[in-house]
Chains A and B, each alone.
Chain A
Amino acid sequence: MGETVIKTDKLTKRFGDFIAADEITFEVEKGEIFGFLGANGAGKTTAMRMLCGLSIPSSGSATIAGFDVYKQTEQIKRNIGYMSQKFSLYEDLTVIENIKFFGGIYGLTDLQIKTKSDELLHNLGLKQEAKKLVASLPLGWKQKLSFSVAVLHEPKIVFLDEPTGGVDPVTRRQFWDLIYNAADRGVTIFVTTHYMDEAEYCNRISLMVDGKIKALDTPRNLKNTFGVETMDEVFYKLARGAKRGD
């Protein structure tokens, strides 16, 4: 521990008059599982897109794996994995074709792609489905595949935007096993979620309300601070005052 991989200072994104992310400041250390919580419309996805180099901030500063979010977006992209809220692998390609394609795009060698994809299919138990079109897989498997593809090139940080939305509890547990495995290998996990049980799995949590970070601590400390028993209540206490959202 001790190595900071994400560092933001007053990072802000405006769309016209609307301030989607308002001076957010935080740090994430290597190997951490960092939970990024907030109600719908709080600005989580906007913040995450800035950190991934998909969106240029309006003001403030941030470095990801030591690279600047304004000028070094392409270096950032080499060092991160990203799994968007919306499933975005190619549905008209097979499982193995998707793995090979993204492996190739990230510049892995043929040998690396071969061993990685064998390992991945084995871990996910997808050997039988390797030659099926991704469109035919159930959602839970798609999400697990998405995650595995996002960490295929062994990024330093992986960003997960609501990875378990709409997934059954068993698959969610399996998904978190994958996350823990990656964290054990030293990958930093940056994850947004709406499930408070999942929030408990995180090392630290930040909670966004109306574009601002309202709380940032370990789940245990947060519960103590607010004098409540569960993360649900912490979330409720903080997010109740939200003016945005649907």
Chain B
Amino acid sequence: MRTIKFLLQKEFRQIFRNRAILAMVMVMPVMQLLILPLASNYEVKNVNIAVIDNDHSSYSQKLISKITASGYFKLTGYDFSFKEAFKLIESDKADLILEIPHGFERNLVREDEQKLFIAVNAINGTKANLGGVYLTGIIKNFNADVRVQLVQPGKFNQQPTITIASSNWFNPYLNYHVFMVPGILAILVTMIGGFLTALNIVKEKEVGTIEQINVTPIKKHHFILGKLIPFWILGNIVFTLGLIVSWLIYGITPLGNILLLYAFIAVYLLAISGFGLLISTFCDTQQQAMFVMFFFMMVFILMGGLFTSIDSMPDWAKFVTKFNPVAYLIDVMRMIILKGSGFKDIAKQLGTIGLFAVVLNSWAIINYKKTS
């Protein structure tokens, strides 16, 4: 225990003397939480649409104004030939082309039927996809309006319709901040816990101070604990800071038990720091450690369920996410913060992360060699 006291004293002195690290640890979370949730948004807006109106009728005008009034579309071209409209797509000025054929109004009224043509630029998949769906929705709506106007509602031609009323639980207004903030918080905690620990031992290797440590009778697990605890504490501080920011700025407070949240974070930080330490025992330079860590972080974050849903991944990817600590954290954060889940709901995740912590740290201790 005494050895650990000396190790901690030393580590904290070094951390507090390194102003750059300290500033990063304190400022980074606040900045990221302020900027990222406002910028990253799943909602697709400002879809650029080019309309080729071959009809020039009052109905085609109505349809166009309905589209632009929806707020999702920006009219960037009107009254071109298809060739010209396609040029707009090629030069990335339009995402969608809507072609209204000759006789649109006439056919709609007389023949009761009309066809429209939508061409979608699928380079930006999400935008094109959602844009197409929105447009179809608007046209359907337009069609319904036209029906009501043209056909006198009566007994005989009333079509059966199904109306769906949906309600969004846990995030009733589908507010994206609410969705993103816990996720970003999860990534911040991961960065602090993972990167700083990974770089720390490697720095001692680079400077050569580890040699002086290795020649002392220090126990390996003492040394690893001496590295683990400071960054564990730092991670908790950053997390607390993040919670305060999300409360002050976004008004998000955990719906569930905050102590449960901290308990999970505590175990999680042990696991991710253990991972960082393990990486550092394999690497000889900070560059190596940085690259290896970056590789894993990319995988962890992209396969963590923050940006894309894990449920829609292929089976092999779903299997990989079972070994991704970040996926568990994002999951649990959303569960406790948004859904108010209790201990029973997250027990499985807690157990898994606990197992990660034990395995990774033991591996780090075994792999740290005082004698080569």
* Chain A interface residues toward B at CB < 8 A: 52-56, 73-75, 77-78, 80, 82, 84, 86-93, 97, 100-102, 104-107
Closest to B18 in A: A92
Judge whether B208 and A86 touch: CB under 8 Å. Answer: yes
Judge whether B208 and A87 touch: CB under 8 Å. Answer: yes
**Can you give 17 contacting A-B residue pairs, CB < 8 Å?**
A52-B215, A53-B371, A54-B370, A54-B371, A74-B217, A82-B215, A84-B211, A92-B14, A92-B17, A93-B10, A97-B13, A101-B9, A104-B2, A104-B6, A104-B9, A105-B3, A105-B6
Closest to A84 in B: B211
Interface of B is mostly: helix
B207 / chain A contacts, CB cutoff of 8 Å: 88, 91
B372 within 8 A of A: yes
Report which of A55, A75, A91, A106 forms a contact with B216, defined as CB distance below 8 A: A106
Judge whether A77 and B216 touch: CB under 8 Å. Answer: yes
CA distance A71 to B10 in the complex (A): 30
Question: Smallest distance from the beta carbon of A160 to chain B beta carbons, Å?
Answer: 12
Judge whether A56 and B212 touch: CB under 8 Å. Answer: no
A55 / chain B contacts, CB cutoff of 8 Å: 371-372
Task: List which B1-21 residues lie within 8 A (CB) of chain A.
Answer: 2-3, 5-7, 9-10, 13-14, 17-18
Judge whether B372 and A88 touch: CB under 8 Å. Answer: no
Judge whether B13 and A105 touch: CB under 8 Å. Answer: no
A80 / chain B contacts, CB cutoff of 8 Å: 215
CA distance A7 to B166 in the complex (A): 84
The 7 closest A-B pairs by CB, nearest first: A104-B6, A82-B215, A88-B212, A78-B217, A77-B217, A86-B208, A88-B208
Report which of A88, A97, A106 forms a contact with B209, defined as CB distance below 8 A: A88
CA distance A77 to B370 in the complex (A): 11
Question: Smallest distance from the beta carbon of B16 to chain A beta carbons, Å?
Answer: 10
Judge whether B372 and A54 touch: CB under 8 Å. Answer: yes
Name, among B18, B207, B209, the residue most crowded by chain A CB atoms within 10 Å (CB to CB): B209
B320 within 8 A of A: no
Judge whether A106 and B371 touch: CB under 8 Å. Answer: no
B258 within 8 A of A: no
Question: Smallest distance from the beta carbon of A154 to chain B beta carbons, Å?
Answer: 14
- With contact pairs A97-B13, A104-B5, A107-B2 given, residues A54 and B214 touching in the complex (Cβ less than 8 Å): yes
Closest to A146 in B: B212
A101 / chain B contacts, CB cutoff of 8 Å: 6, 9-10
Judge whether A93 and B372 touch: CB under 8 Å. Answer: no
Question: Smallest distance from the beta carbon of B174 to chain A beta carbons, Å?
Answer: 49
Name, among A87, A104, A105, the residue most crowded by chain B CB atoms within 10 Å (CB to CB): A105
Judge whether B215 and A54 touch: CB under 8 Å. Answer: yes
A88 / chain B contacts, CB cutoff of 8 Å: 207-209, 211-212
Closest to B215 in A: A82
Judge whether B371 and A82 touch: CB under 8 Å. Answer: no
Judge whether A97 and B10 touch: CB under 8 Å. Answer: yes
B366 within 8 A of A: no
B218 within 8 A of A: yes
CA distance A93 to B7 in the complex (A): 12
Judge whether B372 and A56 touch: CB under 8 Å. Answer: yes
Judge whether A54 and B217 touch: CB under 8 Å. Answer: no
Task: Render B286-319 as a binary contact track against A, CB cut-off 8 A, 1 for contact.
Answer: 0000000000000000000000000000000000
Question: Smallest distance from the beta carbon of B284 to chain A beta carbons, Å?
Answer: 15
Judge whether A86 and B211 touch: CB under 8 Å. Answer: yes
B209 / chain A contacts, CB cutoff of 8 Å: 88-90
